[in-house]
Amino acid sequence: MNTFMRWAGFVVVLFIAAPLVIVVPMSFSNASSLQFPPPGYWLGYYRAYFTSVDWLIPTWNSILIATATTILTMALVVPATFALVRHKFRGKGFADLMMLMPMAVPHIVMAVGYYSYFGDLGLVHSHLGVILAHTCLSVPIAFLVLSANLKGFDRNLERAAQSLGASPAKTFLHVTLPILRPGLVISSLFAFIQSFDETVVAIFISGRDAETLPRKMFDSIRQEADPVIAVISTLLFFVVLIGIAAPYFASALRSRAPKPSRPAGAH
């Protein structure tokens, strides 16, 4: 069973890896349509991406919307998470569940809702509309990450700070916030990615004015399969690679730094 599993596992590795890496050579291809292996290589489509307003504006829109979504999400989720993790009250179980609901609803359902609702409010085809919708969709993941962090937070640290003379506000500023920072960063990052990658709702409500990168890619793939998509895919591939690999390298570097020698016994 062991050998079988291992061989099957290696085959699956290829299955997972192939589609991830194939975009890299494709992005340097000089073919005007999908062709692999590429007939020749050039950087033309990179130039096309970095000079074309049609692609740069959606990219900018996505960054803008994801940033605003992250800020709004965190502003709403951080206090709510404190309430839900730190306090016991009637209806808490229900509130916990509600935080996760946007994750349970298929995005196409929300897309229909937003398309009609934001139509009434005059929010379709606007950055604000996409930000408001994306914030809803980012709440669950931000909450999950943050609440896991907060549950692991030792409240004695806050008690210690108060006993040492820190008012509740100063305790929050000097102790709670700095210690929770990694959790806050990861939570924000997840909210950002959730918004940056979100496609379905954006297809329905972003329109031409607030067109996001995923919407532009979707339309482009559907219509003409513009080779520039390979360029964007490659760029995104490397962003993700760096994002994931960076912590590994950082920890590898740190572990190489001289460790403090541990004295034998407490002197």
Window 129-158: residues binding another protein (CB under 8 A): 132-133, 135-136, 139-141, 144, 154-157
- Choose, by CB under 8 A, the member of 41, 50, 54, 95 that binds another protein: 95
**H or E stretch covering 224:** none
* Contact status: 23 vs another protein (CB under 8 A): yes
DSSP 72: H
What are the residue ranges of helices labelled H in 198-227? 200-205, 213-223
- Shortest reach from residue 195's CB to another protein, in Å: 12
Q: Which is nearer to another protein, 122 or 168 (CB)?
A: 168
CB 237 within 8 A of CB 24: yes
Closest CA to 211 of 63, 106, 72, 68: 63
Binding residues among 208-227 for another protein as defined by CB under 8 A = 214, 217-218, 221-222, 225
Binding residues among 64-83 for another protein as defined by CB under 8 A = 75-77, 79-80, 82-83
Closest CA to 148 of 114, 182, 125: 182
**H or E stretch covering 151:** helix 127-151
* Contact status: 59 vs another protein (CB under 8 A): no
- Residue length, the chain? 267
Indicate the SS3 state at residue 29.
strand
* Contact status: 37 vs another protein (CB under 8 A): yes
- Choose, by CB under 8 A, the member of 130, 150, 161, 210 that binds another protein: 161
Binding mask 225-264 for another protein (x = CB under 8 A): x---xx-xx--xx--xx-xxx--x-----------x-xx-
